[in-house]
């Protein structure tokens, strides 16, 4: 059986990749994809810990809720990006700089 550490390494790698993408990407869609990576790294942790540490199903139920919420968040985020596209004619975050101070 695959030991717990393997899952944790994968999730840590996913989390770091997500964070890296968030900090370096200028395209709003890429940033949203990075956010999904972060959410899913949390999910892997939850399911792995549920299996190896606690032995109950709480973590897996949590992961299901996270998947649902991530979908809602993506829907809202894409709507906002769409409506920004109408103003800027691009999805680059560099254009969104009218608010400053």
**What is the longest distance spanned by two Cα atoms in the chain?**
55
Contact between 21 and other proteins per CB under 8 A? no
Among 29, 61, 67, 90, contact with other proteins (rule: CB under 8 A): 61
CA pair distance 55, 52, nearest whole angstrom: 6
Tokens for 62?
């949590």
CA pair distance 15, 89, nearest whole angstrom: 31
CA angle at 70 for the pair 89 and 95, rounded to the nearest 5°: 20
Residues 29-58 that bind other proteins (CB under 8 A): 31-32, 35, 38-39, 41-43, 45-46, 48-50, 53-56, 58
Footprint on this chain of other proteins (rule: CB under 8 A)? 11, 15, 18-19, 22, 28, 31-32, 35, 38-39, 41-43, 45-46, 48-50, 53-56, 58-59, 61-62, 65-66, 69, 72-73, 76-77, 80-81, 83-84, 87, 93, 96-101
């Amino acid at each position: 059986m695959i030991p717990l550490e393997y899952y944790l390494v994968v999730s840590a790698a996913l989390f770091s990749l997500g964070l890296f993408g968030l900090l370096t990407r200028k395209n709003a869609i890429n940033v949203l994809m990075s956010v999904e990576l972060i959410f899913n790294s949390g999910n892997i942790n939850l399911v792995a810990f549920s299996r190896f540490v606690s032995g109950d199903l709480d973590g897996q139920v949590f992961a299901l809720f996270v998947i649902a919420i991530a979908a809602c968040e993506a829907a809202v985020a894409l709507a906002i990006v769409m409506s920004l596209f109408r103003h800027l004619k691009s999805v680059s975050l560099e254009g969104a700089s009218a608010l400053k101070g």
